[in-house]
Protein backbone atom coordinates (compact mmCIF):
# COMPACT_ATOMS: atom_id res chain seq x y z
CA UNK A 1 0.00 0.00 0.00
CA UNK A 2 1.06 3.59 -0.58
CA UNK A 3 2.24 5.25 2.63
CA UNK A 4 0.76 8.54 3.84
CA UNK A 5 2.15 10.93 6.49
CA UNK A 6 -0.19 13.51 8.08
CA UNK A 7 1.34 16.67 9.60
CA UNK A 8 -0.63 19.28 11.55
CA UNK A 9 -0.04 21.01 14.87
CA UNK A 10 -3.70 20.37 15.72
CA UNK A 11 -4.16 16.79 16.91
CA UNK A 12 -7.85 16.81 16.02
CA UNK A 13 -7.06 17.57 12.37
CA UNK A 14 -4.76 14.59 11.87
CA UNK A 15 -7.14 12.29 13.74
CA UNK A 16 -10.10 13.66 11.82
CA UNK A 17 -8.42 12.99 8.48
CA UNK A 18 -7.58 9.44 9.55
CA UNK A 19 -11.19 8.76 10.50
CA UNK A 20 -13.04 10.62 7.75
CA UNK A 21 -10.95 9.88 4.66
CA UNK A 22 -11.10 6.26 3.39
CA UNK A 23 -7.43 6.09 2.39
CA UNK A 24 -7.65 2.33 1.81
CA UNK A 25 -9.99 3.05 -1.12
CA UNK A 26 -6.94 4.26 -3.04
CA UNK A 27 -4.61 1.57 -1.70
CA UNK A 28 -3.19 4.04 0.81
CA UNK A 29 -2.45 3.76 4.51
CA UNK A 30 -1.70 6.46 7.08
CA UNK A 31 1.54 5.14 8.56
CA UNK A 32 2.27 8.08 10.88
CA UNK A 33 1.10 11.48 12.10
CA UNK A 34 3.21 14.37 13.39
CA UNK A 35 2.29 17.56 15.23
CA UNK A 36 5.57 19.34 14.48
CA UNK A 37 7.49 19.80 11.24
CA UNK A 38 10.78 18.61 12.72
CA UNK A 39 9.14 15.42 13.99
CA UNK A 40 7.86 14.75 10.47
CA UNK A 41 11.32 15.37 9.01
CA UNK A 42 12.90 12.98 11.49
CA UNK A 43 10.33 10.34 10.57
CA UNK A 44 10.83 10.43 6.81
CA UNK A 45 14.62 10.20 7.16
CA UNK A 46 14.13 6.59 8.27
CA UNK A 47 10.68 5.85 6.84
CA UNK A 48 10.08 6.98 3.24
CA UNK A 49 6.47 7.77 2.38
CA UNK A 50 4.57 8.27 -0.86
CA UNK A 51 2.26 11.12 0.18
CA UNK A 52 2.59 13.94 2.73
CA UNK A 53 -0.48 15.96 3.72
CA UNK A 54 0.52 18.97 5.82
CA UNK A 55 -0.84 22.14 7.33
CA UNK A 56 0.83 25.38 6.18
CA UNK A 57 0.82 27.26 9.47
CA UNK A 58 2.72 25.46 12.20
CA UNK A 59 4.90 26.77 15.04
CA UNK A 60 8.68 26.97 14.53
CA UNK A 61 8.59 25.84 10.90
CA UNK A 62 5.91 26.30 8.23
CA UNK A 63 4.62 23.51 6.05
CA UNK A 64 6.34 25.11 3.05
CA UNK A 65 9.70 25.17 4.82
CA UNK A 66 9.24 21.56 5.90
CA UNK A 67 8.34 20.39 2.40
CA UNK A 68 11.33 22.23 0.93
CA UNK A 69 13.57 20.12 3.19
CA UNK A 70 11.59 16.95 2.55
CA UNK A 71 11.94 17.28 -1.21
CA UNK A 72 15.72 17.07 -0.85
CA UNK A 73 15.26 13.63 0.73
CA UNK A 74 12.14 12.43 -1.10
CA UNK A 75 11.94 14.26 -4.44
CA UNK A 76 9.32 11.92 -5.90
CA UNK A 77 6.91 12.05 -2.95
CA UNK A 78 3.56 13.81 -3.45
CA UNK A 79 2.85 16.78 -1.17
CA UNK A 80 -0.52 18.36 -0.33
CA UNK A 81 -0.76 21.60 1.67
CA UNK A 82 -3.73 22.56 3.86
CA UNK A 83 -4.50 26.05 5.12
CA UNK A 84 -7.23 27.87 6.98
CA UNK A 85 -7.34 30.58 4.34
CA UNK A 86 -6.65 31.11 0.64
CA UNK A 87 -3.41 33.10 0.69
CA UNK A 88 -1.99 33.92 -2.75
CA UNK A 89 1.64 34.07 -1.64
CA UNK A 90 1.40 30.62 -0.07
CA UNK A 91 -0.26 29.23 -3.18
CA UNK A 92 2.46 30.72 -5.40
CA UNK A 93 5.24 29.30 -3.23
CA UNK A 94 3.50 25.93 -3.16
CA UNK A 95 3.36 25.93 -6.96
CA UNK A 96 7.07 26.77 -7.13
CA UNK A 97 7.76 23.75 -4.92
CA UNK A 98 5.73 21.56 -7.29
CA UNK A 99 3.30 20.69 -4.50
CA UNK A 100 0.44 18.61 -5.83
CA UNK A 101 -2.29 20.88 -4.52
CA UNK A 102 -3.30 23.48 -1.96
CA UNK A 103 -6.59 22.85 -0.15
CA UNK A 104 -8.45 25.25 2.12
CA UNK A 105 -9.70 24.11 5.53
CA UNK A 106 -12.14 22.77 6.43
CA UNK A 107 -11.08 20.13 3.96
CA UNK A 108 -13.75 19.01 1.54
CA UNK A 109 -13.87 15.21 1.71
CA UNK A 110 -14.80 14.82 -1.96
CA UNK A 111 -12.16 17.28 -3.14
CA UNK A 112 -9.39 15.55 -1.18
CA UNK A 113 -10.66 12.15 -2.32
CA UNK A 114 -10.47 13.18 -5.97
CA UNK A 115 -6.93 14.40 -5.45
CA UNK A 116 -5.85 11.19 -3.71
CA UNK A 117 -7.38 9.14 -6.52
CA UNK A 118 -5.32 11.09 -9.07
CA UNK A 119 -2.16 10.60 -7.02
CA UNK A 120 -2.82 6.86 -6.67
CA UNK A 121 -3.17 6.57 -10.45
CA UNK A 122 0.11 8.41 -10.98
CA UNK A 123 1.89 6.21 -8.44
CA UNK A 124 0.59 3.10 -10.19
CA UNK A 125 1.75 4.44 -13.56
CA UNK A 126 5.25 4.88 -12.14
CA UNK A 127 5.28 1.24 -11.04
CA UNK A 128 4.12 0.09 -14.47
CA UNK A 129 6.76 2.23 -16.17
CA UNK A 130 9.56 0.74 -14.08
CA UNK A 131 12.10 -0.78 -16.44
CA UNK A 132 13.03 -4.43 -15.95
CA UNK A 133 16.76 -5.13 -16.09
CA UNK A 134 18.77 -8.33 -16.28
CA UNK A 135 21.01 -9.69 -13.53
CA UNK A 136 23.64 -10.21 -16.23
CA UNK A 137 24.27 -6.49 -16.83
CA UNK A 138 27.94 -5.55 -17.04
CA UNK A 139 29.46 -2.28 -15.81
CA UNK A 140 28.75 -0.51 -19.11
CA UNK A 141 25.14 -1.64 -19.03
CA UNK A 142 24.58 -0.36 -15.50
CA UNK A 143 26.28 2.95 -16.34
CA UNK A 144 24.12 3.48 -19.42
CA UNK A 145 20.91 2.99 -17.43
CA UNK A 146 21.97 4.97 -14.35
CA UNK A 147 23.69 7.95 -15.95
CA UNK A 148 20.75 10.33 -15.48
CA UNK A 149 20.96 10.76 -11.68
CA UNK A 150 23.69 11.66 -9.18
CA UNK A 151 22.71 9.04 -6.61
CA UNK A 152 20.90 5.70 -6.58
CA UNK A 153 19.58 3.25 -3.98
CA UNK A 154 19.18 -0.51 -4.24
CA UNK A 155 16.93 -2.77 -2.20
CA UNK A 156 14.73 -5.85 -2.20
CA UNK A 157 10.94 -6.05 -2.03
CA UNK A 158 8.02 -8.26 -2.99
CA UNK A 159 6.51 -5.62 -5.27
CA UNK A 160 7.86 -3.73 -8.27
CA UNK A 161 8.94 -0.22 -7.34
CA UNK A 162 11.59 2.32 -8.17
CA UNK A 163 12.98 3.29 -11.58
CA UNK A 164 14.37 -0.16 -12.37
CA UNK A 165 13.55 -3.68 -11.20
CA UNK A 166 15.35 -7.00 -11.53
CA UNK A 167 13.39 -10.24 -10.97
CA UNK A 168 15.17 -12.27 -8.30
CA UNK A 169 14.44 -15.85 -7.22
CA UNK A 170 16.11 -16.92 -3.98
CA UNK A 171 15.34 -19.37 -1.17
CA UNK A 172 12.29 -20.60 -3.08
CA UNK A 173 10.66 -17.18 -3.32
CA UNK A 174 10.18 -14.56 -6.02
CA UNK A 175 11.49 -11.10 -5.15
CA UNK A 176 12.11 -7.83 -6.95
CA UNK A 177 15.43 -6.02 -6.73
CA UNK A 178 14.69 -2.32 -7.13
CA UNK A 179 16.96 0.57 -8.03
CA UNK A 180 15.59 4.02 -7.18
CA UNK A 181 16.79 7.60 -6.94
CA UNK A 182 15.57 7.74 -3.34
CA UNK A 183 15.42 5.22 -0.47
CA UNK A 184 12.25 3.11 -0.54
CA UNK A 185 10.84 0.57 1.90
CA UNK A 186 12.49 -2.82 1.49
CA UNK A 187 15.19 -5.20 2.67
CA UNK A 188 18.88 -4.21 2.68
CA UNK A 189 18.20 -0.76 1.22
CA UNK A 190 21.60 0.85 0.66
CA UNK A 191 23.24 3.45 -1.60
CA UNK A 192 24.17 1.99 -5.00
CA UNK A 193 27.46 3.35 -6.30
CA UNK A 194 30.01 2.66 -9.02
CA UNK A 195 31.60 0.31 -9.80
CA UNK A 196 28.03 -0.92 -10.20
CA UNK A 197 28.65 -4.52 -11.19
CA UNK A 198 30.82 -5.22 -8.15
CA UNK A 199 28.45 -3.29 -5.87
CA UNK A 200 25.56 -5.36 -7.24
CA UNK A 201 27.29 -8.68 -6.53
CA UNK A 202 28.26 -7.57 -3.00
CA UNK A 203 24.73 -6.34 -2.35
CA UNK A 204 23.22 -9.68 -3.48
CA UNK A 205 25.39 -11.55 -0.98
CA UNK A 206 24.23 -9.25 1.84
CA UNK A 207 20.59 -9.57 0.74
CA UNK A 208 20.79 -13.36 0.65
CA UNK A 209 22.27 -13.39 4.15
CA UNK A 210 19.53 -11.08 5.41
CA UNK A 211 16.88 -13.44 4.01
CA UNK A 212 18.65 -16.55 5.27
CA UNK A 213 19.18 -15.32 8.84
CA UNK A 214 15.97 -13.33 9.07
CA UNK A 215 16.03 -10.76 11.83
CA UNK A 216 19.24 -12.13 13.34
CA UNK A 217 22.01 -9.67 12.54
CA UNK A 218 25.17 -11.75 12.49
CA UNK A 219 28.64 -10.46 11.70
CA UNK A 220 31.30 -12.61 10.10
CA UNK A 221 33.21 -12.73 13.38
CA UNK A 222 30.34 -14.37 15.23
CA UNK A 223 30.68 -18.08 15.84
CA UNK A 224 27.29 -19.13 14.44
CA UNK A 225 27.95 -17.38 11.15
CA UNK A 226 31.39 -18.95 10.97
CA UNK A 227 29.86 -22.38 11.56
CA UNK A 228 27.37 -22.09 8.71
CA UNK A 229 29.55 -20.10 6.31
CA UNK A 230 30.96 -23.18 4.48
CA UNK A 231 27.45 -24.31 3.46
CA UNK A 232 25.88 -20.88 3.09
CA UNK A 233 26.14 -20.72 -0.72
CA UNK A 234 24.94 -24.31 -1.01
CA UNK A 235 21.81 -23.52 1.01
CA UNK A 236 21.10 -20.40 -1.04
CA UNK A 237 21.41 -22.38 -4.26
CA UNK A 238 18.99 -24.99 -2.93
CA UNK A 239 21.15 -28.06 -3.63
CA UNK A 240 19.53 -30.46 -1.14
CA UNK A 241 21.88 -33.37 -1.78
CA UNK A 242 24.94 -31.23 -1.25
CA UNK A 243 23.45 -29.70 1.91
CA UNK A 244 22.98 -33.19 3.38
CA UNK A 245 26.51 -34.12 2.34
CA UNK A 246 27.96 -31.00 4.00
CA UNK A 247 26.04 -31.62 7.24
CA UNK A 248 26.98 -35.32 7.59
Q: Are residues 53 and 151 in the same domain?
A: no
Q: What is the mean pLDDT of the chain?
A: 83
- What pLDDT sits at residue 179? 95
Q: Are residues 101 and 142 in the same domain?
A: no
Q: Are residues 158 and 80 in the same domain?
A: no
Q: Are residues 61 and 154 in the same domain?
A: no
Considering 80, 98, 128, which residue would you say is the last residue of a domain? 128
Q: Are residues 21 and 118 in the same domain?
A: yes
- Tens-place pLDDT, residues 39-56: 999 999 988 899 999 998
Tell me the residue range of the domain where 51 lies. 2-128
Considering 78, 102, 128, which residue would you say is the last residue of a domain? 128
Considering 79, 104, 128, which residue would you say is the last residue of a domain? 128
Instruction: Reply yes or no on whether the pLDDT at 196 is more than 90.
Output: yes
List phi, psi (to 5°) of 51. Answer: -140, 135
- Please check whether residue 230 lies inside any domain of the structure: no
- What pLDDT sits at residue 219? 45
Q: Are residues 7 and 94 in the same domain?
A: yes
Mean pLDDT of 31-35: 96
Q: Are residues 118 and 8 in the same domain?
A: yes
Residues 94, 100: Cα–Cα separation, whole Å? 8
Which residues, listed in sequence order, are joined to residue 34 by a DSSP beta bridge?
Answer: 7
What does pTM read for this prediction? Answer: 0.63
Around 28, how many Cα atoms within 13 Å sit in the side-chain half-sphere? 29
Q: Are residues 209 and 156 in the same domain?
A: yes
- Tens-place pLDDT, residues 80-121: 988 876 665 666 666 666 677 788 888 889 999 999 999 999
Q: Are residues 100 and 153 in the same domain?
A: no
Q: Are residues 83 and 197 in the same domain?
A: no
- Please check whether residue 238 lies inside any domain of the structure: no
Q: Are residues 119 and 140 in the same domain?
A: no
- Please check whether residue 231 lies inside any domain of the structure: no
Contact, 9 vs 58, CB < 8 A?
yes
Residue 82 is part of a domain; what is its CATH number? 3.40.50.2300
- What pLDDT sits at residue 173? 81
Instruction: Reply yes or no on whether the pLDDT at 217 is more than 50.
Output: no
Q: Are residues 45 and 66 in the same domain?
A: yes
Mean pLDDT of 137-145: 90
- Please check whether residue 233 lies inside any domain of the structure: no
The distance in angstroms from the start CA to the end CA of the chain is 45
Cite the beta strand spans of 114-230 per DSSP E.
131-132, 152-157, 164-170, 173-180, 187-192
- Please check whether residue 246 lies inside any domain of the structure: no
Amino acid sequence: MYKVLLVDDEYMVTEGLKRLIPFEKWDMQVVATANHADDALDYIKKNPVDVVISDVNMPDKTGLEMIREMKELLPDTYYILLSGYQEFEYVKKAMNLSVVDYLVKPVDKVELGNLLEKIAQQLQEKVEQSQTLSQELDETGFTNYLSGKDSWWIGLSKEKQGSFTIPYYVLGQDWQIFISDQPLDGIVVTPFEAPYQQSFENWKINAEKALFYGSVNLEKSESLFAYYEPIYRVIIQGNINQIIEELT
